[in-house]
Structure 1
Amino acid sequence: MRGVARTTTLDSVIDDADQRGTAARSGDIDFADLVRVLHQGVWVIDLDGITLYANQRMADLLQTTPEAMIDGSVLEYFFEHDHALLLEQIATRHRGASDDYVARLRRTDGELVVVRVHASPLRRDGVVFASVAAMSDITELTADAADNTVALHDAEESLRRRTRLMSWVAHELRTPLNTIAGFAQLLRTSSLPPRDLDRVNNILAASTHMDGLVQDLLDYARADSATIEARLQAVAVADAVAEAVSLVAGVAQQQQVHIDRNVPDLWVIADHRKLVGVLVNLLSNAVKYGGSGNVVTVSASAVSGRVECTVADQGPGITLRHQRAIFQPFERLDNAEGMHGTGLGLAIVDAYVRAMHGTISLESVPGQGTTFTVDLPPAQRPDPEPAPPDALPAHQEAGENVRTVLYVEDEPLNASLLESIVSLLPGRRLHVEPTVAGGIAAASSIRPALVLLDLNLPDGSGFDVLRSIRSNPDLAATPVFILSADATEQATQRAQELGADRFISKPFDLEQFLSLLDHHTK
């Protein structure tokens, strides 16, 4: 635990690594004393990036103390744009390899330090358990300090502009998509002739495809700026594979491609949605490019303390020229004519895998097929979660009092969609306010059972309404959901900090949304 008074020495790290089958000292030479007087910074971290040891020179480079660094994350001191590089290097140490690279560190005063790094793995009983790096300050060799400050300011301003653009794209494109998908889902719940039901399903499929293209573009922009978001948790590989296979089953059937599964009970640390997206992309490529009659095999295994997921096909393979560029944006294979998509698929796959602290590789022999391997950190099976709320009852009688849902939203089509959805729940009604001021006033006057907030409003943000509700003792316990297309990490984190009960991203699933509404307005 940080802040606890304890001292970690290089001796203790070495002694813990190897109970002296190989001596940590040779004769009368004390290696720890040598490290302390080196002109280079020495930094030892475990495979999770937690600091085990730092010498005085390393602490001086960062304008801190060795004691303050112990038990802290190495990410705290690396420049944000170099986080992906660092995670790749940690994975390289995990595989037992050394490497030299250049990185940027952020001192405690905010200034950047450019360092040349030589990093090597540390082993205990032949198994890698940590990494040691020697760092040399090369800041003066690379640029003048003032130029670095200007460059950093320009980079951060560029990142802010890009973030604002992504937020605008998400809101402006996904808001109409939410309306299209929402009304289509409502139509699907009604009694439609089979032909009309097929048409509604086509609308839903097209809106889902469009949402996927928007997500590809947003994630590509995030990956290019090293800000891609991953919500890491324990994920069952078999569940992710089953979901991915179900999503490509229709295409596989059309192409007469059989998908074999060999996935034991393994768990990984991953973002469930992104892992499914990775598998869907790899499976889709195997199905599309493999040709009719192809057999695609998806499997998983535990290898050297990691979990490897592989997707293999028996297709024509990938030439060496294309292998070198396969993960670049807009790179497409020679036989990709007629294939739909943004051309960002494998670039996004690579970014997703790196965001989950993993690696992806491929092996391919022209004429013999291709195998993609995704390497991810393992996880323990989590404890079972409480059962979700029961599904909506078929017939629910209205209570004596009608329960009001307050929706603060300025887009008439979105308000109309929610009105139709809430009307499916007996004993509930929707009250719509298009402004922050109106939402705050209505919350106080009608005392709603539930509040739904859009974020982009004419006179401010939905966060302003949330802040007002949480500061009012009479309303503080009222459940509040953010309902927005702006589901960026900054927005979801801000919602959590201000006390929102849920953040629901548009477009949403109708059945799940109805279940939540019913549960929170009983």
Structure 2
Amino acid sequence: MCIPTCRAAHRCTAAPPCAVNPRAWNRSGPASGAHEGRRRLCCVEQSAEYYRALLDRADGILTILNPDLSWRTSTGRGTLEMGYPQGFDPEGGVFSLLHPDDIEQGFAGLQELVAMGPGATRVGQVRIRAKSGRYVEFEIHGTNLIGLAPIDGVAVQAIDVSALRSAEIELWRSEERYRELVENMMNGVWIIGPDGRTVFANPRMATMLDTPLHDLLERSVYDYVDDEQKNVIAQYLARRQAGLSETYELCLRSANGVPVWVLVSTTPLAADGPFRASASVLTDITALKRVEFELDNARQRAEESSRAKGALLFRMSHEFRTPLNAVMGFAQLLERLVDGAAADYVQRIAKAGTRLVALVGDLDALRLNEVSPASSMGLVTLAASTEQVLAKMLPAARHADVTFLTGEVHGRVTADPVRLEQVLTNLVTNAIGASPVGGVVTISTSVNDGRVRYSVADQGRSLTVAEQERAFEPFADPAVDGRRSSVLLPLIRSAVATLGGATGVECPPTGGSVLWFELPLA
């Protein structure tokens, strides 16, 4: 920066005067003691040839001032870059080229340099006017060589630092923008060291933890979690040290003990070296968690209510069906033994019993829609379930003068036995209601591609295409001919779907309708 007097020419071991690099005129001092000054004197006295070469190839602007600080000469590439010729003589002296605000500081700095004696150096910064009139920022390195031949004056080297200063200003502005962004984020920013202590936090993070920002900077993340969570935090920090980034939910405790649920997105800070810290962005999801907990509690209460309702319907259905079976059986027996007015009374009993059987079927259908299918899943043999259902529905079939015809029923499925039995009951009930007097209800199964199809066919009126499409839809219009699809079939479809199956309806050319469902074979 200043004149490296004899390092190249004579291999002198003396350090160049520019080795000292203070940043302001009033902070610099002599570069060496008396011994260093004598070594510089030795080198300078023997470096006339080097001095001339230095003037020709100097970086920036190299100016030699007389002992009274008047201008002697200027040279260097920077002189040309500023628009001045080599060796130019500025009118008004060297200080006329300085910015008006820098003249007093520059003159005082050079006076102090002269007073410090030969070998002293000073460093400062001034703005120098180019020939175009604009001012350029330079770093000034002055060396006192008064009394030291061949210079016998003050050597001042000026290095253009305007580009560096612009880069520093832009970096500062970028840092300010970054800091403003971080400090005004709606999310918390928390940088934690390897020991869990806070390295940095933004105001939002302090607000989330109900802690003053200056206090948070002295606290550890372990101060904001329960004892059982401390091991979890330690594991998270261990994963950061392993270089892993991740996102997770965490429950913190604010300074006053209030739970604060946060979504944490975190990454390690290593800068291609050892782990230094864990940087995290935290989003407060406490309100969302509160709604989630309330919904979960509401769901649990609804499930408990549904189970209680299903149990009540089951008891009601069972209590009704047992005496009804006896009433219907004896009514059918009495129909064969009495005549006249008594026979009419018996028919009224049977008709009322049939209506009650239908009501019990509706109760079972409601229970079918209330009970969870996962409550008691197990292997169910379709043949055994069919036998139980037909035995239960035999009184209603006899009263309607309908006959059951059972083909080969085989296959086992995984299902809730109670729910599956109710599906079969509702299909048979629907078929009885649709069948004419003297009709036949046919039950059969078929197996294909690991699935079993269970079919219930009646000899009633065939459904139209539109009725087939809407047969299993909720709130469909009640069908004619006693078919109760508007009540039973939508519930059947829902129940079968929960078991992983499918339902459908077909109308063969010979008449009647076939309702079926499919389930995977066990």
User: Which structure has the larger Rg?
Assistant: 2
Return the structure number with greater relative CO, CA threshold 8 A, min gap 6.
Answer: 1
TM-score (ref. length: structure 2): 0.34
